[in-house]
Amino acid sequence: MNVTLPSRPLILGSSSRYRRELLERLRMPFEVFAPDLDESTRPGEAPVQLAARLAMAKAQAVAKQFPRAIVIGSDQVADLNGQAIGKPGTHARAVEQLSAMSGQSVVFHTAVAVVCAESGFSAGDIAPVRVQFRSLSAVEIENYLNAEQPYDCAGSAKSEGLGIALLASIESDDPSALIGLPLIRTSQLLRQAGLDPLLVLKNGSSA
């Protein structure tokens, strides 16, 4: 394989360790820079609109500081019957979220945006993931939360861990989207921005 070094630096505009670990799967050199912005929902804003807006806002905020770079921004919002479900932050809030989602179908909207200020490239996409939660008992919820403590995850569940036991089914065309970054769509956007993951590998190695 002919491997070239990237003509532009790649930056992940996120403080999420989950997104960093996912992007590492593409084996490209990148830096991480967390944007500082208000992530509050606007009046009348649907969950899918919130996810798309925040993903783009994160990418744009970092791109302003690093105009030469290709910047990835991402956001995930769980949608329970039109209600946005974000990160619980606390045990009590996580209990409330899982109790509300018990037996319900929840759509996780995982948005990704790629921006390069210098080239003028700006595009985004959304990977919806439909998750059917099992009917959960209070004991199951408590046991799960005490074991995994997923308080930094939208919807209070880590599907890549023990959280999979909370679920009846997952429907998605982008397998990593539920964890926090849809890598199929991310790769497509990076190619459009001029950075092909299969032509630019970490440390310039084809291994």
Return the active site residues: 75
Identify the H or E element spanning 57.
helix 47-65
Phi, psi of 126 (to 5 degrees): -130, 135
CA 27 – CA 204 distance, rounded (Å): 10
DSSP single-letter state for residue 37: -
CB 122 within 8 A of CB 115: yes
Phi, psi of 188 (to 5 degrees): -60, -45
Q: Which two tokens stand for residue 118?
A: 């210098």
